[in-house]
């Protein structure tokens, strides 16, 4: 499965998972825009050098790439990323939205500004890049969008209220764009990655310490969660032959699984009372025969 003659943008491509995405796509023939603001895990600072390091790495391996240090969190800046692809390669086929930040805290300690910052980078950053790319996809009647969500959007992980909520917004954007893009030959899917990177390292190690996880076990765990084991799933979603639309793939540790939205059979009454819900709660919550809500089917 190659990407010859295809042009791909990967945001947050200078390190970790994004770097693995960029290297894999380039190794299979894609011309890549390595987009990265070069900031720290919480979004502080900026530098063009990390992106250029990946550009050089791709070139040394015989691939073709250009760098872009624009920030996704500003609309005009995000548009520069798309402009870079068009100016350098004359077209755009693939957008992989991977840029993100991480700033975990318990809910009472999180400021509104921290919630806003998460939304600016994860949700609005994804939106700004896609919005600038969309006219080219519509024109060419072709496009592949791979967004980044997280299992944190489903809850169950302490201190990730702001992060998980922002990723939940990306999930909603992904599903709805999948519906709208379908008639135009555009497919929009997402990855929920499982990888040990600089964004997740501090929080993961803190959680492990609180649960008294042995250091040896933690070292083995982190070594098995390499970004390279996430990249094949993203490349598959970016390929022209991928039949999926509006889907979420959990990827990492060598495994790939589907995260789906389910709706139970529930109950139905002509006149519904509060007591009806209380008395039939088991039936409402029973997932036997549950239906998968597919964005692709809704758009057919």
Question: Domains in the chain, start-ordered, CATH in brackets?
Answer: 7-259 (3.40.50.720), 263-300 (no CATH)
CA dihedral 150, 185, 58, 130 (to 10 degrees): -50
Q: By three-state DSSP, how is residue 205 classified? A: helix
- For tokens 């010859």, the residue is 4
pLDDT of residue 299: 41
Give CA 187 to chain center in angstroms: 14
d(CA 283, CA 277): 9
Burial 88-119 (b: 16+ CB within 10 A, else e): bbeebbbbbbbbbbbbbbeeeebeeebbebbb
Kindly give the residue spans of alpha helices, DSSP state H, lying in the chain.
Answer: 16-27, 49-60, 75-89, 112-118, 125-140, 161-181, 198-210, 215-224, 231-238, 274-279, 281-285, 295-299
pLDDT score for 194: 92
Tens digits of residue pLDDT in 168-227: 999 999 999 999 999 999 999 999 999 877 666 666 666 666 677 787 776 776 777 899
| Separation of alpha carbons 54 and 37, rounded Å | 13
pLDDT above 90 for 43: no
Over the chain, what is the mean pLDDT?
93
> Is the CB of residue 152 less than 8 Å from the CB of residue 100?
no
pLDDT for position 218: 66
Tokens of 32: 């890549």
**Strands 64-68 and 248-252, bridge-based pairing:** unpaired
Residue of 67, 126, 122 lying closest to 96 (CA atoms)? 126
Closest by Cα among 166, 191, 165 to 247: 191
pLDDT at residue 207, rounded to an integer: 65
In which band, very low, low, confident or very high, does the pLDDT at 296 lie, cut at 50, 70 and 90? low
More confident residue, 296 or 46: 46
Select the more confidently predicted residue: 44 or 150.
150
pLDDT tens readout for residues 236-287: 999 999 999 999 999 999 999 999 999 999 999 999 999 999 999 999 999 9
Please tell me which residue, 159 or 198, carries the higher pLDDT value.
159
Q: What are phi and psi of 80, to 5 degrees?
A: -65, -30
The per-residue pLDDT for range 87-142, each reduced to its tens digit, is: 999 999 999 999 999 999 999 999 999 999 999 999 999 999 999 999 999 999 99
Question: If you search the block for the tokens 């803190």, which residue do you land on?
Answer: 206
Phi, psi angle pair for 297, to nearest 5°: -65, -35
Q: Give Cβ neighbours of residue 250 (< 8 Å, ≥ 6 apart).
A: 151, 192, 194, 256, 257, 258, 259
Comparing CA positions, the residue from 20, 57, 59 lying closest to residue 146 is 20
Give the pLDDT confidence score for residue 300 in this predicted structure. Answer: 39
Phi–psi pair at 256, nearest 5 degrees: -135, 135
CA separation for the pair 167, 79 (Å, rounded): 21
Cα 51 to Cα 15, 34, 37, 55, 292: the distances in Å are 8, 6, 8, 6, 40
pLDDT for res 216: 78
Q: Are 16 and 199 in contact (CB under 8 A)?
A: yes
96 forms beta bridges with 10, 146
> pTM for this structure?
0.91
- Crossing angle of helices 16-27 and 49-60, in 10° steps, is 30
Residue 266 to residue 245: CA distance in whole angstroms: 27
* Active centre residues (catalytic): 163
């Amino acid at each position: 499965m190659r990407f010859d003659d295809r042009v791909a943008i990967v945001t947050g491509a200078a390190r970790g998972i994004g770097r693995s995405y960029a290297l894999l796509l380039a190794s299979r023939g894609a011309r890549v825009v390595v987009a990265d603001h070069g900031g720290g895990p919480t979004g502080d600072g900026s530098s063009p050098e990390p992106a250029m390091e990946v550009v050089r790495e791709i070139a040394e391996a015989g691939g073709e790439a250009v760098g872009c240090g624009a920030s996704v969190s500003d609309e005009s800046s995000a548009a520069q990323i798309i402009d870079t692809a068009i100016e350098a390669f004359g077209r755009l086929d693939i957008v992989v939205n991977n840029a993100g930040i991480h700033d975990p805290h318990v809910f009472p300690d999180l400021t509104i500004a921290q919630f806003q910052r998460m939304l600016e980078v994860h949700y609005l950053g994804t939106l700004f890049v896609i919005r600038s790319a969309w006219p080219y996809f519509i024109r060419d009647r072709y496009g592949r969008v791979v967004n980044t969500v997280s299992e944190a959007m489903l809850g169950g992980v302490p201190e990730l209220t702001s992060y998980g909520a922002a990723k939940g917004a990306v999930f909603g954007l992904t599903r709805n764009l999948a519906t709208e893009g379908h008639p135009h030959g555009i497919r929009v899917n997402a990855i929920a990655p499982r990888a040990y990177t600089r964004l997740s390292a501090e929080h993961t190690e803190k959680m492990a310490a609180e649960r008294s996880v042995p250091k040896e076990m933690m070292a083995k765990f982190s070594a098995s969660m390499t970004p390279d084991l996430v990249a094949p799933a993203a490349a598959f979603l970016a390929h022209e032959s991928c039949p999926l639309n509006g889907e979420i793939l959990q990827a990492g540790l060598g495994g790939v699984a589907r995260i789906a939205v389910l709706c139970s059979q529930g109950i139905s009454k002509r006149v519904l009372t509060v007591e009806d819900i209380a008395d039939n709660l088991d039936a409402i919550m029973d997932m036997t025969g549950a239906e998968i809500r597919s964005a692709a089917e809704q758009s057919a």
